[in-house]
Amino acid sequence: MSLQSDLETPAVTVDIDIMEDNIRRVQAHLSAHGIANRPHIKTHKIPALGKLQMQAGAVGITCQKLGEVEVFADAGVADDVLLTFNILGAAKTERLMALSRRLKRLAVVLDNEAVAKGLSQAAVQHGGDVRFLIECDTGMGRNGVQTPQAALDLARSAIKLPHMQFEGLMTFPTRYPGSHAFFEEALALFKRAGIAVPVVSGGGTPAIFGVEQFPMLTEHRAGTYLFNDVMTVASGTATWDNCAMRVRATVVSRPTDTRAVIDCGTKVLTSDLYTVTGYGHVVEYPDAVIPHLSEEHGVIDLSKCAERPAVGDIVHVIPNHCCVVSNMVDEIVGVRGGRVEQVWTVAARGAVR
Amino acid sequence: MSLQSDLETPAVTVDIDIMEDNIRRVQAHLSAHGIANRPHIKTHKIPALGKLQMQAGAVGITCQKLGEVEVFADAGVADDVLLTFNILGAAKTERLMALSRRLKRLAVVLDNEAVAKGLSQAAVQHGGDVRFLIECDTGMGRNGVQTPQAALDLARSAIKLPHMQFEGLMTFPTRYPGSHAFFEEALALFKRAGIAVPVVSGGGTPAIFGVEQFPMLTEHRAGTYLFNDVMTVASGTATWDNCAMRVRATVVSRPTDTRAVIDCGTKVLTSDLYTVTGYGHVVEYPDAVIPHLSEEHGVIDLSKCAERPAVGDIVHVIPNHCCVVSNMVDEIVGVRGGRVEQVWTVAARGAVR
């Protein structure tokens, strides 16, 4: 077994102890609140990590692309999968129906009639039923019906289509009070209409430790909690000690007294900034800021650092957004106690469709 | 041969006619100014496209990572390669020396003594010489010596090390007046010191059509010009008609009158924003803006569009930064006249080290 200190840079590493603790803690919290855990595998795209989440008590997994479902079905990770994306077009709906036959339960979301009709046609053509949830836009401003009444109207019209089984409501992310108010009103409308809503699915890592605010949820979907990152720390959901993913890098240049440059840029760390300052947190130099990334360079501002690295020194960067960093590399290195324990292939990395 | 209109989405496509025209135009311009063209292959990471650039008159290629040099050497793209990154550490310098034996000329840049010493030691240990250029920071604020005098001092000390062959000066990007003033002063210093500077290497796509401002340049390194993107259009270097790369996507949702959502987000288009507004240019709806990307969703604001797409419609997005988009997918589809002519594997995609 090789040493972590022998790893060539840049390398994306995951501290297995921290990751296992994250899996345990989140599973225990959701279980304590009676909410099913359906982790989103887009964060890691690694079947072995999905299996760890299942073994810890997850009821199933969430995928964002058909290609992810295919990779994870091939690996036998879970027989209960929710695909949280509108699937349309003959080729994709055929792939969905083929997957549906292989899994005990494959559900999919939809937010418009065109998608509902396409799914129903595929079910008629290829056999089998489509289990669907209505995606609700409860504040994100992305996909989703805009009002509780629109959710009911769409459910009603989709239920009338052949081979379509309504299973519930879904949103991303769960936010208070928007998601709460939307779901409460929608559930009252569905009750009055006599339509059962077996599943109410919320999502997002920042919402995990506030699930008690949403008594209507039956399940929660989160991805980032497995590794954590600058964004989950900024949201108060995690501490630096909960961050399992670190990008190992070498200081290749010290052009000025206050500037260091490392051998990784956007092609590993990505340009994801969201609301945070800088492109990652440098573990060894917590007062450092990464103001600029090129594709293969990371520029570090050391102005506020008392100690400063030399050319050849190794640093570890906690990325802003772990879910996109996994997607940049072919392999993630699992480390424990300074040793390399696992090298995982990011199996669903290329699954863009 | 299949039709472009049959391509599943999202797909990264390159219009071969436009790309060939870009290759011809840039090569002709640099040749007309007597400046050698050394295209940067990080933009495409595809050996077949590097070969097209060589056939059009390039003197060699530029790579940013050892892994890229290895992939392109294996494919026999060029026997003259410049690696524009500080290479350090025993494993990497050994790989460099191995590559050096396989290529007619492999040059590398350096900007500090630690890197120079490591390269010299590797050359002594493994045999062969290291051809090097001094990287100069002429305004980018990334790697590079900070002054012309520092360039001379570093060249002098590196030349004294065993097996080190000084070849010249390099910067990125070439900008007026900073790069001009730096090189002019540096060349005067080197001349006074009696040190020949055979190569003066500039770079960047926006600088291509201004190379006449830099009479000291012997070669130019640019990558983006091959495909072009929103940034090169914003810089005035290209028009939309020169943009060969388009991300083909499907409208999967129309949640509101002014909002469309497509099936590609940061995991294809990336979060690269730089100085432009929005995350890409929608060819069919030029007044549309992409204000937000999630990992797999692209949110389009149609407020300013008279015509608006329906669910299921296809759109093509010119990305902000083509060099990072190639890196997100396993394959790029070459199209010509509405037909799929080539499917290229992005061979150096995983070459992060």
Contacts of A141 in chain B (CB under 8 A): 259, 292, 299
SS3 letters for chain B? CCEHHHCCCCEEEEEHHHHHHHHHHHHHHHHHCCCEECCEHHHCCCHHHHHHHHHCCCCCEEECCHHHHHHHHHCCCCCEEEECCCCCCHHHHHHHHHHHHHCCEEEEEECCHHHHHHHHHHHHHHCCCEEEEEEECCCCCCCCECCHHHHHHHHHHHHCCCCEEEEEEEECCCCCCHHHHHHHHHHHHHHHHCCCCCEEEEECCCCHHHHHHCCCCCEEECCHHHCCCHHHHHCCCCCHHHCCEEEEEEEEEEEECCEEEECCCHHHHCCCCCCCCCCCEECCCCCCEEEEECCCCEEEECCCCCCCCCCCCEEEEECCCHHHHHHHCCEEEEEECCEEEEEEECCCCCCCC
How far is the alpha carbon of B20 from chain A, nearest alpha carbon, in Å? 25
The whole-angstrom separation of Cα A136 and Cα A170 is: 6
Closest chain B CA to residue A271: B271
Which of A134, A247, A263, A325 best tests the B interface by mutation, with the highest count of B CBs <10 A? A263
Distance CA A170, CA B59 (A): 56
Contact residues on chain B for A323, CB-CB shorter than 8 A:
295
Structure-token match 């990008």, residue found: A247
Q: Do B114 and A312 touch (CB under 8 A)?
A: yes
Option in B10, B64, B85 nearest A352 (CB): B10
Q: Encode pLDDT of A94-144 as tens digits.
A: 999 999 999 999 999 999 999 999 999 999 999 999 999 999 999 999 999
User: Residue B258's closest chain A neighbor by CA?
Assistant: A141
- Token digits of residue B340: 């799929």
- pLDDT at residue A34, as a whole number: 97
Q: What's residue A275's pLDDT?
A: 83
* pLDDT given for residue B274 in this prediction: 82
Tokens found for residue A159 = 């239920």
Q: Distance (Å, rounded) from C-alpha A258 to C-alpha A299?
A: 10
Residue B171 confidence (pLDDT)? 98
Burial of A48 (0-12, 13-18, 19+ CB in 10 A): middle
Domains in chain A (CATH in brackets) are: 4-9+237-345 (2.40.37.20), 16-227 (3.20.20.10)
Distance (Å, whole) CA A83 – CA B215: 58
Asked if B330 and B345 touch (Cβ cutoff 8 Å), the reply is: yes
pLDDT in tens, chain B (353 residues): 699 999 999 999 999 999 999 999 999 999 999 999 999 999 999 999 999 999 999 999 999 999 999 999 999 999 999 999 999 999 999 999 999 999 999 999 999 999 999 999 999 999 999 999 999 999 999 999 999 999 999 999 999 999 999 999 999 999 999 999 999 999 999 999 999 999 999 999 999 999 999 999 999 999 999 999 999 999 999 999 999 999 999 999 999 999 999 999 999 999 999 889 999 999 999 999 999 999 999 999 999 999 999 999 999 999 999 999 999 999 999 999 999 999 999 999 988 99
> Is the confidence at residue A36, as pLDDT, over 90?
yes
- Helices A90-102 and A66-74 sit at what angle, rounded to 10 degrees? 30
Which residue in A10, A311, A329 is closest to B112 by CB distance?
A311
Residues 256 to 285 of A: which have CB under 8 A from any B CB? 256, 259, 261, 263-264, 266-268, 270-273
Residues of A in contact with B312 (CB under 8 A): 88-89, 114, 118
pLDDT band at A1 (very low <50, low <70, confident <90, very high): low
**B267 contacts A271? CB cut-off 8 A:** no
Q: From residue A119, how far is each of A110, A161, B244, B254 by CA, in Å?
A: 9, 9, 34, 17
Contact A255 B145 (CB under 8 A): yes
Sign of the torsion angle spanned by Cα atoms A268, A318, A259, B161: negative
Residue B101 identity: R
Left if phi > 0, otherwise alpha if psi is -120 to 50, otherwise beta: which for A56? alpha
C-beta atoms of B352 and A267 within 8 A: yes
**Is B308 an 8 Å CB contact of chain A?**
no
CA gap B163, A318 in Å, rounded: 39
Would you say A207 and A174 are in contact if contact means Cβ atoms under 8 Å apart? yes
A291/B contact by beta carbon, under 8 A: no
Does any CB of chain A come closer than 8 Å to the CB of residue B249? no
Mean pLDDT of the region A274-295: 96
Strands B281-282 and B314-318 come out as antiparallel
* Total residues belonging to chain A: 353
Q: Judge whether A333 is closer than 8 Å to chain B, CB to CB.
A: no
Amino acid at A135: E
B277, B333, B206, B199: CA torsion to nearest 10: 150
Q: What is the ipTM of this complex?
A: 0.97
CA pair distance B283, B290, nearest whole angstrom? 12
Note which residues in 184-213 of chain B have CB less than 8 A from chain A. none
- Are the C-beta atoms of B171 and B179 separated by less than 8 Å? yes
Residue B291 touches chain A, beta carbons under 8 Å: no
B92 — contact with chain A (CB < 8 Å)?
Answer: yes
Q: What does pLDDT average to over chain A?
A: 97
Beta bridge partners of A316: A248
Point out the residue among B42, B143, B296 whose CB comes nearest to the CB of A64. B296
Cα of A132 to nearest chain B Cα, Å: 16
Give the max Cα distance, chain B.
70
Does A353 sit within 8 Å of B112, measured CB to CB?
A: no
Give dist(CA A178, CA B11) in Å, integer. 35
User: Is the Cβ of B327 closer than 8 Å to some Cβ of chain A?
Assistant: yes
Q: Which B-chain residues 144-183 have CB contacts (< 8 A) with chain A?
A: 144-146
List all residues of chain B from 34 to 73 with a beta carbon under 8 Å from chain A: 42, 64-65
Provide the pLDDT for residue A274.
82
Percent of chain A with pLDDT strictly greater than 90 = 98
Contact across the interface for B89 and A312, Cβ inside 8 Å = yes
Torsion sign, CA atoms A51, A56, A59, A62: negative
Write the burial class of residue A212 (CB in 10 Å: 0-12 exposed, 13-18 middle, 19+ buried).
exposed
pTM confidence score: 0.97
The C-alpha torsion from B140 through B141 and B146 to B151, rounded to 10°, is -50
**Under an 8 A CB cutoff, do B267 and A352 touch?**
yes
Q: What is the 3-state secondary structure (H, E, C) of B155-208?
A: HHHHHCCCCEEEEEEEECCCCCCHHHHHHHHHHHHHHHHCCCCCEEEEECCCCH
Q: In B, which residues are within 8 Å of A11 by CB distance?
A: 353
Q: Is B142 an interface residue toward A (CB < 8 Å)?
A: yes
3-state secondary structure of A32: helix
- For chain B, give the number of residues: 353
Tens of pLDDT, residue by residue over A288-312, are: 999 999 999 999 999 999 999 999 9
Handedness of CA A201, A204, A207, A208 (dihedral sign): positive
User: Residue A183, SS3?
Assistant: helix
For A265, which residue in chain B has the nearest alpha carbon?
A: B352
- HSE-CB at B22 with a 13 A cutoff on CA atoms is 30
Residues of B in contact with A42 (CB under 8 A): 295-296
